[in-house]
Structure 1
Amino acid sequence: MSSRTILKCETSSLLHPNNRLRAHLEQLPFNYKATVLLPDCDHAPSELDATLRSFQSFYLIQELPLYELLEECLRRGNVCGLSYKTRIDEDNCAFLKANGQLCLSLDKDSYEVLGIQGKACRPKCSRYVVNVDLSDSNMAPGSPGYRRLLSGLTSRLLLRMDFLLAPTSGDTDGLQPLLWRYKWSRHTPEVSGRLVSHPVPPACDLRSHDPFDLLEWLGAVQADPDLSFPLPSACPRPSSNSSQSSFLLAARGLLLPENIMTLIQQLGHFLEGAHSPGWAAITVHGFLDSLHVHERHFYTLILFPDRTYSLHLAKPAS
């Protein structure tokens, strides 16, 4: 684990009515990979595999003008997405959350041309972030705020980007006008699984181990199916009666927080089974070159059969 990583840890229970798990998941709104580690397991449980394969489809729309996305979002709602293959440190980027929060990252020239109030990413930085709450009454169609934003995006700064978009309700009606006018392709998350040939530590060790060492160990397990390199000495040690195999299930694509929450809940049901392992881990990674990478990079949740969990939230240090 890099010394320039900030790690926040929280323990709670899925059964606790005031747990903040969903709120934490929503801080990383767009994810490209979710990996489930199932210790002492040699196959993919059918219910977890089915859950991953039930994640909603998403769409890649090419050269989409940002103003058209805003118009369709305000008219129909239930659409979220982010610009695709844009570099956060060089290109103009955008994302639109399901709650109507629009965020733009712009170079200095584009920011000045757009004419909408924002702020510098960091002191003495030449990049600016513009946040717009499209659900606010001041941004209703026809309002002064909306007209100013629309004018900026149509007459002063015509931003066109490739977008990954997903209908949050599963209903594609909100995307149909865009699909009729622009080149697009439909995708489903790619699901894969493989064995990991190495024993794993017991649950009691995971509850007490140093979080940085634990995440380093989990990263090593997920990175190499054969673990042909030695684990760091500080990492958790396997129990003597642990089996020699575990199973990794992974989904890659545009994964939304509600997908991850469904997976966590299904994993909780699985761990209650008579022959389930003593714990399981889910690691979720956000898109690296997108705006929210500065908010959170990835998180790992370790879940136990009694529905208690430890959540490790990591982000690069500023």
Structure 2
Amino acid sequence: MHTLNTDLNTDNVIVLDPEGNLSLSLVKDAYEKFGIQVQHRSKASMKHNKYIINIPLKDNQLHPGSKQFERLKWCLENTLTQTFKLKAYFNIVTGQSVDIEWPSQVKKVTKIDIEPQFETLTDIHIPSFESINHSLNGQPAEDWDRHVMNALEWIGLAYIRSNRIKAKTTKAVDPFISVYKAPAPYLDSQTGTLIKWKGLLPTPFIHNVMTMIRKLMVPDIINHWTSLTVYGYRDSPYTWKGKEHYAYLNSENDYTFLMMPEHQTAYTLQFYGSHHSNV
């Protein structure tokens, strides 16, 4: 569950993760009224005047009737009275569709189906990414990092259907604006398929997409390479490994899988913000 249209640096943000951890990222005024104290504040939280309250809802001591439960319930009902717009998903192991029973306080509920959007990209320079491949038992080439960044840049441009990767453009791009050139060598094919899903996607859903991609590689339906990129919410209080998140400093919390069936190799590429390691 994740609040929508809330800015991490200036608004109250609420997140409930799949492990049952409730995170309340509150601005100073809301925190002082809330009634539950932050156990620990990082230097970055102090600098940005943020207060992040973490509540493990699966804790054995947090049950109806317990002091902790009743305190949390009272605070949510009496001090955090702001109305939020949220997205949520419910996942069960049976795979059957189940309607969620929402509390009476919820004003409006809209069910959103996760549907793919297909698009064919034509007349584009598709790199082979041969310069990235290397033996996992050895060291990569000295300029390997540069080739990886070039690959990520091309994949990002493909996702936004940029004219920069077009093999033929009807209008020349002003060199002052862009001198971009797709990394060579190119594949013979100039046609690719772009598939998108939008929304708050469950982790098992992403895992299933990865499984389907791997199955398509076995019969050579995908015979050169494919990538799967997941863009995380920019306004989540936490990102990689429980690191606190600050939208104007280190809002990147994305990752890409680049799979190359010809070489039976795959690479996982994570995006970190410039201040991530220091938070």
Structure 1 moving runs of 4+ over 6 Å: none
Letter in 1 for 2:259: L
Name the structure where helix makes up a greater proportion of residues: 1
Change (3 A) 1:317 1:187: same
CA distance in structure 1 between the partners assigned to 2:185 and 2:90 by the alignment: 43
Match of 1:70 in 2: none
Larger Rg: 2
Q: Write the deviation string for residues 238-272 of structure 1: whole angstroms up to 9, x where unpaired.
A: 33x52111111111122121111110111011011
Letter in 2 for 1:222: Y
Match of 1:238 in 2: 185
Q: Write the deviation string for residues 199-250 of structure 1: whole angstroms up to 9, x where unpaired.
A: 32225323254222221121122222543556735x53133x5211111111
1:95-134 mapped onto 2 (5 Å cutoff): 95-118=15-38, 119=41, 122-134=45-57
CA distance in structure 1 between the partners assigned to 2:78 and 2:88 by the alignment: 25
Match of 1:184 in 2: 109
Change (3 A) 1:82 1:172: farther
Q: Write the deviation string for residues 82-103 of structure 1: whole angstroms up to 9, x where unpaired.
A: 1111111111110111221101
1:41-52 mapped onto 2 (5 Å cutoff): none
Change (3 A) 1:264 1:173: closer
Say whether the 8 Å CA contact 1:104–1:130 is kept in structure 2: yes
Match of 1:204 in 2: 130
Q: What's the CA shift for 1:105? A: 0.7
Change (3 A) 1:110 1:174: farther
* Unaligned 5+ runs, structure 2: 135-143, 240-244, 246-250
Q: 1:137 and 2:60 equivalent?
A: yes
1:158 to 76, 81, 84: 81
Say whether the 8 Å CA contact 1:280–1:304 is kept in structure 2: yes
Over the aligned positions, Cα root-mean-square deviation in angstroms equals 2.6
Name the structure where strand makes up a greater proportion of residues: 1
Change (3 A) 1:242 1:102: same
1:285 to 226, 231, 235: 231
Say whether the 8 Å CA contact 1:271–1:277 is kept in structure 2: yes
Letter in 2 for 1:182: K
Say whether the 8 Å CA contact 1:299–1:313 is kept in structure 2: yes
1:193-272 mapped onto 2 (5 Å cutoff): 193-196=118-121, 197-207=123-133, 209-210=144-145, 211-226=148-163, 227=165, 228=169, 232=180, 236-239=183-186, 242-272=188-218
Change (3 A) 1:236 1:100: same
Letter in 2 for 1:313: Q
Secondary structure (helix, strand or coil) at the match of 1:152 reads: helix
CA distance in structure 1 between the partners assigned to 2:210 and 2:155 by the alignment: 17
CA distance in structure 1 between the partners assigned to 2:79 and 2:105 by the alignment: 26
Task: Calculate the TM-score normalised by the size of structure 1.
Answer: 0.66
Stretch of structure 1 that moved more, 272-281 or 255-264:
272-281
Match of 2:267 in 1: 310
